[in-house]
Structure 1
Amino acid sequence: MEHTEFNKDLIGFLNASPTPWHAVSTMKERLVKAGFECLDERDQWALQPGRGYFVVRNGSSIVAFRTGKRDLAGSGIRMVGAHTDSPCLKVKPNPELRRKGYFQLGVEVYGGVLLNPWFDRDLSLAGRVTVLDDQGQVQDVLVDFRKPLAVIPSLAIHLDREANNSRSVNAQTDLPPLLMQAPENDTTSFADVLKQQVARETGVNASKVLGYELSFYDAQGASLVGLKDEFLSSARLDNLLSCFIGLQALIETSGNEAALLVCNDHEEVGSMSAEGAQGPFLGAVLDRWCGSEKARIIARSMMISADNAHGVHPNFADRHDENHGPLLNRGPVIKVNHNQRYATNSRSAALYRHISDELGLPHQTFVVRSDMACGSTIGPLTAAVLGVTTLDIGVPQFAMHSIRETIGTRDGYTLFRVLREFMQRAEVF
């Protein structure tokens, strides 16, 4: 697989995954096709050597693993972690707004959203809906309207002369998307809209909508950009790109060594949930897999936390440390922060550099400016929960947390090649 084929497949994955639930559903399909077996946390497990398995929690987080063919206590597990969620606008429980003959929906900001790019975009809506069907059964269904059905219009500059100088966004009053015009006697409810969509998309006749978790998203699909197609632009590159890379690496690895991929939900809001990186999900899976030897196995294991990095923006190069400014298409970025916002240490970084050098592939290093605050990832959280040696790494990108982000077309494939080699390497520590 060359990087052009890799990116074509990546675009399909991104377009099929507008929410964490859709991303996990897409990953499940790919894993089943590759011969992995689905496990249920409510059942007893009988894991076999040399097999592939996966388990899902809440429909939005997934752990997939190969058991390998060697004794775990002597070989350890090669782990890769990412997250399925991205900053977005989520629909409130009682969202209907009728003003001046327009029908709008109230939204809540999820995560650290860069808000201004959400204006004047073609927006669609997707997520999970819990319904009572016509047989009296409660069930979860996924919906994706796919078409542009909403917009958040900007206020004209004639009515806001300082818009280009000092514009700020009020999340309560400025962001409700516009869905349609509605006369004064219109009684349309959002629940009615959802029941119709559920019936169209799934064939389920819902007598009642009991709940939902729905997100607006950019209806424009992922695409190659640039005179020479050097860039790929899409929504949710942070961090579906890493989910895709880790998934492909796990599927294509030899299977001789024990390897694992975890993709957690709720990273963008702190990871403190039943399925987040600060929660018990990964640890519970490892307990059932490793048993009483878990401590010995973890001591021989390593986690690579894959989450995108800040590439140097050519218009704002001064926002980076002058010796640690990653460039797009120059390789994945080892992320270092001695205050433990990233979990990288010299040992974990050395292993990545060694594998990358053996493959003849480029790599870079990022350290935030000393006068700026540093972001974080699931890396330190997972390292603290498990006690596993961890590396933080990511593909450099522009416009992190915008409705549309940009990466180089070569870096994702480079990281995939290193992670695939890592997952099938005989010795880690």
Structure 2
Amino acid sequence: MIIKISETRIHSKEAVQAAAKEFLNFVNKGVSPYHVVEECKSRLLKAGFTELKEAEHWDIKPASKYFVTRNYSTIIAFAVGGLYKPGNGFSMIGAHTDSPCLRVKPRSKKTKLGFLQIGVECYGGGIWNTWFDRDLTIAGRVMVKVSLCDLKHACVTCENKPHWFSHTKQERFVTDDRIFMFGQKNPFTILAEKHHPALIQMLCGHLGVEPNALLDFELCLTDTQPGALGGVYEEFIFSPRLDNLHSCFCALMDSSTPDSLAKDPNIRVVTLYDNEEVRQQKALRELILRRLASTPDNLTAIQEAVPLSYMISADMAHFAHPNYQAKHEENHRPAFHKGPVIKFNSNQHYATTAVTAAILREIAGKVAVLLQDVMVRNDSPCGTTIGPILAARLGMAVLDLRAPQLAMHSIREMCCTTGVLQTTTLFKGFFEHFPFIRSTVTVD
């Protein structure tokens, strides 16, 4: 598959490539939700944001930027418009830090034929056969006094069994049968009931602590191969965790320049949270919004703000696969390099309405970003997103927006390079133009 960027691009090839390479730097560092949040914190601090703590009193000021984290896997950043008053609206983008992966079980110790093995659990709806025969490593967080751990080198693998062992073409993935090989027995012994001493030793060596300093850990397996540009024209991105670090990166790239923020009557909010892949939605966003809107002089500020607010539920969409184009609804086949995708579903699996779509189209027109529409076939299953959940919970206007990709939920996914800059430009335009465009479109 070869697509010339020059046929569809709005931005220069140099700008497209620069944005794609910066995204790859982000995704290669985000090997777990905890690493994603850590990288986001670093970028926000460099951009002039101030970190707040939930348990402390907040003194929020106009034309100022803040962020707060929870569980080291969720981060909410917000920039207060210079013209903001209690009761004004929120301009919001939501994405998720987690991706389908294999997570180390609380009791992972297994041994077969002299090999030390790690028991793992499937997290999210991954394409699990793509994890076979890969060079894997371990990443996550270790409770010493809370530390992040990314061993980087390949220390784990899941070897496929010989093809003549299989009696059927399709075999169900069962983790008990696909335990990940860790190493061979070592005389080094550590008092560890739940995990192999070799694993404890490796973690301690990486962190520079004694074994008795370890309290607990949450670890996942991750591919050691970094994301990269590919294609004849380097028009594609091949990478793990595109779903959904693509949206996380693009949402955070709004610089909230002082001049732009000073004229904004709204509060700009970006929420990046964990556990979307298993449909567990936290109430943190609602708590933060109520806290920001509350004031002793206006007890109904949050109720006044909701109808003036708008949220983009940002995730990924299935590109129209050239080998399975019949699986896609005619006239609704997302293409690479043609812009982000608006998702529609009359049964409300997606939250987009004609009103929310019209607002985003107006914004896209102002910043010269192409948009596409997508619906699934009537005889095909339709996934769901955070959009309808948060629309119902918060009672505000929501739109489901996606970047097209192939191999969704594989250990190695694929998207186009232009999508990064197109989505980043659209999100920046959304924050800058929504409050004024919203006044021209009826949302009630």
TM above 0.5 = yes
Cα offset, 1:174, TM superposition: 3.0
Structure 1 position 103 matched with structure 2 position 116: yes
1:152 maps to which residue? Answer: 158
1:108–1:326 CA distance, 2 compared to 1 (3 A)? same
Instruction: Give distance in 2, aligned partners of 1:302 and 1:154.
Output: 47
2:242 maps to which residue? Answer: 237
SS in 2 for 1:289: helix
When structure 1 is superposed on structure 2, of 299-308 and 369-378 the one drifting more is 369-378
SS in 1 for 2:261: coil
Correspondence for 2:96 among 83, 107, 111: 83
Q: How does 1:180-329 map to 2 (within 5 A)?
A: 180-182=183-185, 187=189, 190=195, 192-193=197-198, 195-249=200-254, 251=256, 254-256=260-262, 257=264, 258-271=267-280, 278-291=281-294, 292=299, 293-329=301-337
SS in 2 for 1:45: coil
Q: Deviations over 1:265-307 (max 9, x none)?
A: 1001112xxxxxx322011111111103111112101000110
1:177 maps to which residue? Answer: 180
1:252–1:388 CA distance, 2 compared to 1 (3 A)? same
Q: Deviations over 1:196-241 (max 9, x none)?
A: 4454444444524332211001111000110111110111100011
SS in 2 for 1:307: strand
Cα offset, 1:255, TM superposition: 2.1
1:57–1:321 CA distance, 2 compared to 1 (3 A)? same
Instruction: Give distance in 2, aligned partners of 1:349 and 1:3.
Output: 26
Give yes or no for contact 1:198–1:205 (8 Å, CA) kept in 2: no
Instruction: Give distance in 2, aligned partners of 1:250 and 1:389.
Output: 24
When structure 1 is superposed on structure 2, of 47-56 and 291-300 the one drifting more is 291-300
1:112–1:28 CA distance, 2 compared to 1 (3 A)? same
Percent of aligned pairs with the same amino acid: 38
Instruction: Give distance in 2, aligned partners of 1:52 and 1:205.
Output: 40
Instruction: Give distance in 2, aligned partners of 1:298 and 1:197.
Output: 50
Correspondence for 2:404 among 393, 396, 403: 396
Instruction: Give distance in 2, aligned partners of 1:174 and 1:327.
Output: 38
SS in 1 for 2:382: coil
2:28 maps to which residue? Answer: 15
Give yes or no for contact 1:21–1:60 (8 Å, CA) kept in 2: yes
Cα offset, 1:140, TM superposition: 1.2
SS in 2 for 1:349: helix
1:415 maps to which residue? Answer: 423
Give yes or no for contact 1:335–1:344 (8 Å, CA) kept in 2: yes
Instruction: Give distance in 2, aligned partners of 1:193 and 1:299.
Output: 56
Give yes or no for contact 1:73–1:300 (8 Å, CA) kept in 2: no
Gaps of 5+ in 1: 132-138, 272-277
Instruction: Give distance in 2, aligned partners of 1:351 and 1:104.
Output: 53
1:135 maps to which residue? Answer: none
Give yes or no for contact 1:252–1:420 (8 Å, CA) kept in 2: no
1:424 maps to which residue? Answer: 432
Q: How does 1:337-416 map to 2 (within 5 A)?
A: 337-416=345-424
1:72–1:169 CA distance, 2 compared to 1 (3 A)? farther
Gaps of 5+ in 2: 1-13, 440-444
Give yes or no for contact 1:56–1:62 (8 Å, CA) kept in 2: yes
Cα offset, 1:173, TM superposition: 2.8
Correspondence for 1:2 among 4, 12, 15: 15
Give yes or no for contact 1:115–1:169 (8 Å, CA) kept in 2: no
Give yes or no for contact 1:259–1:424 (8 Å, CA) kept in 2: no
Instruction: Give distance in 2, aligned partners of 1:195 and 1:307.
Output: 36
Structure 1 position 41 matched with structure 2 position 54: yes
Query: In the comparison of the two structures, how many residue pairs are matched?
Result: 412
Give yes or no for contact 1:195–1:208 (8 Å, CA) kept in 2: no
When structure 1 is superposed on structure 2, of 89-98 and 377-386 the one drifting more is 377-386
Give yes or no for contact 1:11–1:223 (8 Å, CA) kept in 2: yes
Instruction: Give distance in 2, aligned partners of 1:168 and 1:42.
Output: 49
Instruction: Give distance in 2, aligned partners of 1:102 and 1:83.
Output: 36
1:103–1:192 CA distance, 2 compared to 1 (3 A)? closer
Q: Deviations over 1:62-94 (max 9, x none)?
A: 110001111345641210000010011000011
1:215–1:403 CA distance, 2 compared to 1 (3 A)? same
Instruction: Give distance in 1, aligned partners of 2:243 and 2:138.
Output: 19
Amino acid in the other structure paired with 1:150: V
1:232–1:47 CA distance, 2 compared to 1 (3 A)? same
TM-score, structure 1 normalization: 0.92
SS in 1 for 2:137: strand
1:134 maps to which residue? Answer: none
Instruction: Give distance in 2, aligned partners of 1:199 and 1:116.
Output: 31
When structure 1 is superposed on structure 2, of 278-287 and 395-404 the one drifting more is 278-287
